[in-house]
Amino acid sequence: MTETILANATIILPGETLRGSVRIADGQIAEIAQGAGVPPGAVDCGGDLLAPGLIELHTDNLERHIAPRPKVDWPHAAAIIAHDAELAGVGITTVFDALRVGSIVTNGKLGYGEYARALATEILDLRVRGALRISHYLHLRAEVCSETLIDEMARFGPEDRVGIVSLMDHTPGQRQFRDLSKLRDYVAGKRGMSDAEFVDHVASQQALHARLGARHEAVALAEAARYGAVLASHDDTLEEHVATSARHGIRLAEFPTTVEAARACRAHGIAVMMGAPNLIRGGSHSGNVAAEDLARLDLLDIVSSDYVPSSLLAAGLMLGDLWGDMARGIATVTAAPAAAAGLADRGRIAPGLRADLIRLRRIGGAPVVREAWVAGNRVA
């Protein structure tokens, strides 16, 4: 039996914090004891916070490692390993790597080529070979406004660790980009479209949705059931969007764009997830509802780092300060995402659960992860 004792820590438990120690045996949490004593051979945490490992349900961070500059395709194995190490270093011990399925192949200007199946195979292969430090699952972002969704989703199966399928609809003029001026700014900056090209883009995407959107949505629902994946909605804006989500059996709403939608999610028992960058920056870059506003209205359940991995821990601590309840704040990045994803073996510090843990302290207001363990093994 391998055993580690983390002593003299400020342990963040479900509903409370206490000074004590955690004994790890064979990859699981074996015992929690109260008191500041340090037994012989134990790790003296010096009063540092000891929290469950963070659980990230939606991150685009891998894309940044694979394409560090425009038109640069970095070797994928190296990119995946670097992405994995970065997450471990900021306290994320379980990640659902978000991969888009559903491409645009007839308009090269968009640059939405197919990539998910090949990249997923590389991630899963590195996992099996023991190259990755943390626990990886897949999150397939099913883009209904696309040309290839059906064929792409057919290439995945129950063996692929697809934990989440989110229904994405980026048709111009609704949801995240109901304000076309915001979409114009985004597309012009990212794709370099002229005004005329943008008008054509809007028209072609709206026509594509009218032709294939309903069929793609039905296929995405069926494929998620085949994988055994949790269903999520994306960018719900109106009560009608949420009502549709509820009919589909969705229990996780990613980044609702309005207070109206968040309130409707609460009424339907759908967990609300918002982006940590939105919370930390004080608002949405797309002009949608601020995460802090939802937190103050008690309409925020889960936080995702989205595109800044280090923001996840900072957001959990920020919410703990905002609510005056550190255990509740940290739960938005640990216990709540674990529950939403159906992971009953992690997300809390409790006997019998996986020993996914992080030791941290605040220095100058910024969280610093000093150590991290995954299933009892130190990874950072």
Q: Helix and strand tally (H, E) in the chain? A: 13, 16
Domain housing 315 = 53-346
Mean pLDDT of each 10-residue bin along the chain, 380 residues long: 92 96 97 96 97 97 93 95 98 98 75 89 98 98 92 98 92 60 59 67 71 88 98 94 96 96 98 97 84 98 97 98 98 98 98 98 95 97
Q: Are strands 16-25 and 28-34 parallel, antiparallel or unpaired?
A: antiparallel
Question: Which CA distances in Å does 154 have to 104, 160, 219?
Answer: 17, 12, 9
pLDDT of residue 272: 98
Residue 195: Cβ within 10 Å count: 9
In a domain, 94, yes or no: yes
In a domain, 177, yes or no: yes
pLDDT of residue 225: 98
Specify the 3-state DSSP secondary structure of 227.
helix
Q: Which residues contact 287 (CB under 8 A, 6 or more apart)?
A: 179, 182
Distance of alpha carbon 297 from alpha carbon 360, whole angstroms: 29
In a domain, 187, yes or no: yes
Distance of alpha carbon 88 from alpha carbon 356, whole angstroms: 11
In a domain, 311, yes or no: yes
Q: Which residues contact 363 (CB under 8 A, 6 or more apart)?
A: none
In a domain, 31, yes or no: no
pLDDT of residue 79: 98
pLDDT of residue 179: 61
- C-alpha 103 chain-centroid distance: 21
pLDDT of residue 2: 82
Length of the chain: 380
Specify the 3-state DSSP secondary structure of 68.
coil
In a domain, 23, yes or no: no
pLDDT of residue 176: 62
pLDDT of residue 113: 85
pLDDT of residue 288: 87
Domain count, the chain: 1
In a domain, 105, yes or no: yes
Phi, psi dihedral angles at 67 (to 5 degrees): -125, 75
pLDDT of residue 187: 62
Question: Which CA distances in Å does 47 have to 34, 44, 179, 264, 363?
Answer: 13, 8, 48, 41, 14
In a domain, 325, yes or no: yes
Find the CATH number of the domain harbouring 113. Answer: 3.20.20.140
Q: What is this structure's pTM?
A: 0.91
Distance of alpha carbon 368 from alpha carbon 338, whole angstroms: 23
Distance of alpha carbon 117 from alpha carbon 236, whole angstroms: 27
CB 19 within 8 A of CB 47: yes
pLDDT of residue 107: 66
